[in-house]
């Protein structure tokens, strides 16, 4: 078993496939660091591999809210607090990344798309040890945060896509309303741009 592991994601909204990834990594290391990408607007940039990742509607939750969601889910899945920690993971700003994360860890990744390939190159370029946990096509991914946000925005069922603690936190803090509002703004903006064209 590896001493230290690191995983990362935006977790905009933490869902059950995220938990599958987190727990698969945790099984391989004694201490897992869970990195939150796009931790703030200063460390959020566009990427050729994922052109929507910097959009406001794709980032409705703050770093703190995502931190709380992860903590709640880890407790729900009975992962002892001393066996994990949560930290910012500004993958879009590689020059800053090593100021936040351990260099001597194994970086666990799932590979599903171009953006994952780009992140893999970034981590390898920083001299970090990367282990690929799985490779899936976009069609094989299953639940995605985009799908969850879309379900929330359109008043569809989404409770079964996320840990119970996440559903509770989102609804108790009215974050579902924020997601609906941001999604509507995105749709309105798209319509305006279409009219202009």
Tens-digit pLDDT profile for residues 150-168: 999 999 999 999 999 999 9
Per-residue pLDDT at 122 exceeds 70: yes
Instruction: Please report which confidence band the pLDDT of residue 137 belongs to, taking 50, 70 and 90 as the band edges.
Output: confident
Per-residue pLDDT at 37 exceeds 90: yes
Most confident range (mean pLDDT) of 40-54, 71-85, 127-141 is 71-85
**Quick one: tokens of 115?**
């953006």
pLDDT recorded at residue 16: 97
Q: Which residue segments constitute the domains of the chain, with CATH numbers given?
A: 2-196 (3.40.50.620)
Q: What integer is the mean pLDDT of 74-96?
A: 96
Per-residue pLDDT at 104 exceeds 60: yes
Dihedral (Cα; 113, 116, 118, 121), 10-degree rounding: -130
pLDDT recorded at residue 53: 56
Instruction: Please report which confidence band the pLDDT of residue 183 belongs to, taking 50, 70 and 90 as the band edges.
Output: confident
Per-residue pLDDT at 42 exceeds 80: no
Burial of 156 (0-12, 13-18, 19+ CB in 10 A): exposed
The lowest-confidence range among 20-29, 79-88, 178-187 is 178-187
Q: Identify which has the larger pLDDT, 194 or 150.
A: 150
Q: What integer is the mean pLDDT of 52-66?
A: 82
Distances (CA, A) of 136 to 94, 112, 139, 150: 25, 5, 8, 22
Q: Identify which has the larger pLDDT, 28 or 43.
A: 28
């Amino acid at each position: 078993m590896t001493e230290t592991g690191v995983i990362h994601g935006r977790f905009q909204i933490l869902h059950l496939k995220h938990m599958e990834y987190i727990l698969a990594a945790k099984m391989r290391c004694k201490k897992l660091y869970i990195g939150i990408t796009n931790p703030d607007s200063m460390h959020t940039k566009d990427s050729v591999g994922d052109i929507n990742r910097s959009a406001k509607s794709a980032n409705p939750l703050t770093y703190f809210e995502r931190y709380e969601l992860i903590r709640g889910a880890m407790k729900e899945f009975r992962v002892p607090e001393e066996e994990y920690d949560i930290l910012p993971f500004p993958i879009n700003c590689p020059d800053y990344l090593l100021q936040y994360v351990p260099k001597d860890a194994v970086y666990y990744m799932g590979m599903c798309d171009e953006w994952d390939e780009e992140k893999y190159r970034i981590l390898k370029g920083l001299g970090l040890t990367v282990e690929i946990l799985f490779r899936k096509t976009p069609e094989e991914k299953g639940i995605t945060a985009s799908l969850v946000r879309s379900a929330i925005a359109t008043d569809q069922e989404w409770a079964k896509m996320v840990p119970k603690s996440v559903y509770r936190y989102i609804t108790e803090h009215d974050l579902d309303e924020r997601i609906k509002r941001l999604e509507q703004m995105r749709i309105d903006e798209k319509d305006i741009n279409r009219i202009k064209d």
